[in-house]
Amino acid sequence: MIIAIDGPAGAGKSTVSRLLAERLGCIRIDTGALYRAVALAATRAGFAARDVPELEAFVTALDLRVTQDAVFLNGEDVSSEIRTPEASRSASAFAAVPCVRAGLMELQRRLGRSAPSVLDGRDIGTVVFPDADAKIFLTASAEERAKRRLAELRALGLGGGLSEVLAEIEARDMQDTNRTVAPLRQAPDAVLVDATSLTLEGAVDACYAAVQRQLDQGRE
């Protein structure tokens, strides 16, 4: 079983996906963490976010492992390092590079097929698993997403004001939506869940109900 959850930065995909996966008895695969780890590795190796053949080979040669709450890059736990605002910017820039996306495609498909999974990202329902059993597009207003992201950053002990975080979110939306390869889009058969005025539990309930509906339709 493959459940795809796509949507813009800060809509609550991570937490909702984790809780939804628990409820459905699935594993959760954070594909954004893969892009973040790749961006970190590529930056460390001196690559710029440009489409060069060596970058795809570099990406496919990386040893990337994701567990329910950690990400390992060639054996090193990089879970905290990939969560800074700088890492978000860099992940979005590298994610716009076609050969980086190509380099991560097989890994995402292999992980998704390894067990019943909830995968969250930007192009899961449109490109990685267009035949997913259920698809959700989880969004919220940019202001609400900025407020939530600010709270997450504060919890990590990182600074920044609301206007700064809002500008970051809008810049990342722009980059993720306007890139030429696999841009952020709602798949035509995805169910839209707008979490702007929902609590976390409310968003999980809405997603769970939408998934059940789609699974039921698939069985008919």
Cβ nearer to ligand DC, comparing 170 with 209:
170
9: contact with ligand DC by CB under 6 A: yes
7: contact with ligand DC by CB under 6 A: no
173: contact with ligand DC by CB under 6 A: no
Q: Could you give the string, one character per residue 76-115, with x where binding to ligand DC holds by CB under 6 A and - elsewhere?
A: ------------x--xx--x--------------------
Give strand pairing partners of 197. none
125: contact with ligand DC by CB under 6 A: no
Cβ nearer to ligand DC, comparing 32 with 210:
32
17: contact with ligand DC by CB under 6 A: no
Closest by alpha carbon to 11, among 131, 176, 179?
A: 176
Q: What's the min distance (Å) between Cβ of 13 and ligand DC?
A: 6
CA-CA distance, 147 to 44, in Å (whole number)? 31
How many residues of this chain interact with ligand DC, rule: CB under 6 A?
Answer: 15
168: contact with ligand DC by CB under 6 A: no
153: contact with ligand DC by CB under 6 A: no
Cβ nearer to ligand DC, comparing 113 with 213:
113
Q: What's the min distance (Å) between Cβ of 216 and ligand DC?
A: 26
CA-CA distance, 186 to 6, in Å (whole number)? 7
- Structure token pair of residue 204: 């999980």
One of 56, 144, 168, 176 touching ligand DC (CB under 6 A): 176
* Contact status, residue 2 vs residue 129, Cβ threshold 8 Å: yes
Beta-strand pair 117-121/64-66: unpaired
The binding site for ligand DC (CB under 6 A) comprises: 9, 31-32, 35-36, 88, 91-92, 95, 121-124, 172, 176
